[in-house]
Each structure stands twice: as C-alpha cells, then as structure tokens.
C-alpha cells in the first residue's frame, strides 16, 4: 500500500479527546495508512480540536491557521468541528474534511472520500457513538499509563458547560466491556489505568438504571494492574457504597478528582448545581473520615456572572478549611450556547484574573503542607522519564495524576534497587515543595527503618 497518503495527527484538549485520537490512529494504522508525527512530510494533518473554553479554542485556531499557512490539507475533528461547522469550512479553505465528536470512527472512510476530491462534512447532530474494546487503539501516553473511558456524554445542564451539546447524552459501556479493555491494557504492560467520563460517579445510570461505579471498581480488582485512578467524581455520587468500593479494592487508589467549581450556594445555584451547595462540606468531611489516606484534587471557576467579593471570600475560606491536596483554578469563559452566556452581571476579566491568582496563592502553602507530610515515607513511584546525563529519574507517586499534578524527582542510589522506565520503583521521599516531591531510590536501610511505610 505504498500509494497510501501519509497522515499526521495533532492532538489538542483533554484526555477524552486523546482517546478519540488514539482510536483514529488505530483505525488508520489498521487500514494501512502511514501515520507519523512529522506534519511537514504528511499529506494530511488531522487536528483533533478542543472547544471547551476560549483558551482551548484559541489554541486550536492557532494550530489550524499555522497549518493552513503551510498549505497543509487539514482534517478537522473533535469539539470545534462539532461546534463551528459552517464557520470552519468558510474560513479555512485548506480544511478538506470536518469530523464530529460522534463520528471519529469513520476516519478511514473520510480519508478515502477526501482522496477522491470530495470535501467531507461528517458531523452527527446528536452524537451517539461509543467505542469499546474491539476498536483499534494506538496509545499516545507513556507506555505504563492509559486512560480508559467508561462512559461518554453528559445529562447534566451546568450553566457554564457546552459539553452536553458537543458530546451528547450520557452513554455507558458495560462492566464486561470495560474490564476486557482493562485486561488488554494490563497485557500491554500498563501500570496505571485512569478511569474517565464526564461524570464518573454517574457511570451506568443510563445502562443499568442506577449508578454502578462501585460494582465496576470491584470488578476491576481482577485486573492485574497496580494502580487504577478515578477522575471526575462528582461529590453527590460518592455514596457509602462507592466509598466502600474504594476501601475494599486494593488496586483502586484513594485519589479523588472532585470538580466542585465553587462553594457558595448562590453561585452554585446560578451554575445550575444547587444540590452541591448543601453537601460539599458534609461529603468532604465524610471522605476524610472514611478514606483518611485520600488525596483530594478539585477545580474551581472564579468570575462566574454575579460572583461578588463576598462570594469569592466564601470560596477562599472553603479552600482554607478543607486543605485540598491539589487545586486548579479557571476564570469563567462565556460559551455561546450555554445558559451562562447571556447572564447579566458579567465579571470584569481583570477581576477574574486577580481572583484566580489570589486563590492559587492561597493554595500554595496548603499544597506545600500536604506534600511535606510525605517526607520520610517510602512509597511506590511509577518511573516515566530519565536524564541520561545525571541519572535523575522522574516519576509519580499515587498522589500525583499525569499532566495535572506534580512529579517525584529521584536520585539514583548505589545501594538501591534498579529502576527502569515504565516500572514501579520503591523510593524514599526526602523533600517537598508546593508542587513536587524529591527523594532517592530506597535502600534496604530505608525499608528497615520504617517497614510500616513500605509499599
């Protein structure tokens, strides 16, 4: 198949987008196409775009414009293709195809049609597609890490969020399908599987009539992978049954990514999340009691329309009170098509930026304190990078998720175990800053000094 065109893929956006990219790559490779990272040599460049917030759209647009100026034939896929179909086709004559979020599995057919001279627009108005373990996948993450999508779409109507419009209604995979793919990943040497969806704690509601995250976690206990991490756990879905599953499933990490967005009941009501304002404090305290080793990560939006200084101070006090391990802060981005787009009382962008900076500054000493609690511990670290010149190793402990959290920097130890990329190493933590941990490969003396802390 030497006459097949060469294709490069540019991935933008979140890990859900990443999985779509990986499936497109898998399908193209299976069909015999040459796929590489060199856009200069490619006949076509697939750009899997993000349209979640303005900053993401701007990055996508910059990428598209740069490729257009280089006279590349562009296949636009993902959220921007779903969101701005006519605009993209009109503004970018170099775009030879648009592929929506529910149509990426048609990528081979799209390329074949483009090769005949057709300008293809393959965008379903209401995405329904959901890939399973049978769909080819070419992973783009480090060898030892993989994201595993357990559901797609969302039935919630948060006032600031465009995702239901771009990704469709929630549709869950079966427990059997998810476990089958997890076993495939384990067979490939994956050491960490990260479960993702728009609302992970709602997993199974559409398929089984009730959320079944607890059942899924227990089923994943049979998969021989050391770490299973859960992202996007909405607080109201952290029922006693789900918490029990965290407690009882050895390879499920006590790491919870809680997209709380705000703390003040008035703002949460305006966000169309009124239920959350009544339960935030209660659920977080219960989590700390029942999962005392839990690592809590959350994200907040500042500058939502109508947010006053008093609302913001409420949020600051909330962050101080609960001492989250990791916090991400975003400024409100008005998205056309969402309920918040036309709300009155928009907050000045300069005020939003200042509030974001203040909240992140407030979080820094909290994050430092949480990281300093790791000093002296002996922990497992998944090794992901190595500096050949110095021998320094970079990895992550269980308290750090890829890309959004920090690193563990490790010095090699002459008496320590060998450590190679993609494997778990046992390390002694000796120092910390607000974002990262530092240490060395553990020696026998380290393990003997405090065997209770050994992994």
Binding region for [4Fe-4S] cluster = 14, 50, 79, 154, 158, 161
d(CA 381, CA 403): 15
CA distance 419 to 399: 20
Residue written as tokens 């490969």? 441
Going by C-alpha positions, the residue among 217, 127, 109, 110 that lies closest to residue 163 is: 127
DSSP-assigned states of every residue in 23-66: HHHHHHHHTT-EEES-TTT-SEEEEEE--SSHHHHHHHHHHHHH
- The token pair that represents 184 in the structure block: 């495939």
The CA-atom distances, in angstroms, between 194 and each of 13, 107, 149, 182, 257 are: 16, 25, 8, 10, 11
Parallel, antiparallel or unpaired: strands 424-432 and 378-386:
antiparallel
How far CA 125 is from CA of 84, 101, 129, 229, 336, in Å, comes to 12, 10, 12, 32, 17
252-261 and 227-230: which strand pairing? Answer: parallel
* Terminal C-alpha separation, the chain: 50
| Cβ proximity of 16 and 196 under 8 Å | yes
Annotated binding site: 14, 50, 79, 154, 158, 161
Strands (DSSP E) found in 137-281: 145-149, 151-152, 171-172, 192-196, 227-230, 252-261
């Amino acid at each position: 198949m030497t006459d097949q065109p060469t294709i490069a893929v540019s991935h933008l956006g979140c890990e859900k987008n990443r999985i779509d990219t990986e499936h497109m790559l898998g399908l193209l490779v299976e069909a015999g196409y040459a796929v590489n990272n060199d856009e200069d040599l490619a006949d076509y460049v697939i750009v899997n775009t993000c349209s979640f917030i303005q900053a993401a759209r701007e990055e996508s647009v910059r990428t598209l414009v740069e490729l257009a100026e280089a006279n590349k034939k562009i296949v636009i896929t993902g959220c921007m293709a779903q969101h701005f179909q006519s605009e993209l086709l009109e503004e970018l004559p170099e775009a030879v195809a648009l592929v929506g979020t529910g149509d990426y599995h048609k990528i081979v057919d799209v390329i074949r049609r483009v090769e005949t001279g057709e300008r293809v627009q393959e965008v379903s108005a209401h995405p329904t597609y959901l890939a399973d373990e049978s769909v080819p996948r070419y992973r783009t993450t480090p060898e030892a890490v993989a994201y595993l999508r357990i559901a797609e779409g969302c039935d919630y109507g948060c006032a600031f969020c465009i995702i239901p419009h771009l990704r469709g209604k929630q549709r869950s995979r079966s427990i059997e399908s998810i476990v089958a793919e997890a076993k495939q990943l384990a067979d490939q040497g994956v050491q960490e599987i990260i479960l993702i969806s728009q609302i992970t704690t709602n997993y199974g509601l559409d398929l089984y009539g009730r959320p079944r995250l607890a059942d899924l976690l227990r089923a994943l206990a049979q998969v021989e992978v050391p770490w299973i991490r859960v992202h996007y756990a909405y607080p109201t879905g952290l029922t006693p049954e789900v918490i029990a599953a965290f407690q009882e499933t050895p390879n499920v990490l006590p790491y919870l990514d809680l997209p709380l967005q705000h703390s003040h009941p008035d703002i949460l009501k305006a966000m169309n999340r009124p239920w959350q304002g009544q339960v935030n404090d209660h659920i977080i305290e219960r989590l700390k009691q029942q999962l005392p080793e839990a690592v809590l990560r959350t994200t907040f939006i500042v500058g939502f329309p109508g947010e006053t200084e008093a609302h913001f101070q409420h949020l600051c006090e909330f962050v101080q009170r609960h001492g989250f391990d990791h916090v991400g802060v975003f400024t409100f981005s008005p998205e056309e098509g969402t309920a918040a787009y036309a709300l009155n009382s928009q907050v000045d962008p300069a005020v939003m930026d200042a509030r974001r900076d203040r909240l992140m500054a407030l979080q820094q000493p909290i994050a430092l304190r949480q990281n300093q609690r790791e000093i002296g511990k002996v922990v497992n670290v998944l090794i992901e990078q190595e500096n050949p010149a110095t021998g320094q190793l970079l990895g992550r402990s269980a308290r750090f998720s890829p890309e959004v959290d920090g690193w563990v920097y490790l010095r090699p130890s002459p008496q320590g175990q060998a450590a190679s990329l993609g494997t778990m190493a046992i390390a002694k933590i000796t120092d910390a800053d607000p974002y990262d941990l530092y240490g060395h490969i553990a020696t026998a003396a380290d393990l003997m000094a405090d065997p209770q802390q050994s992994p």
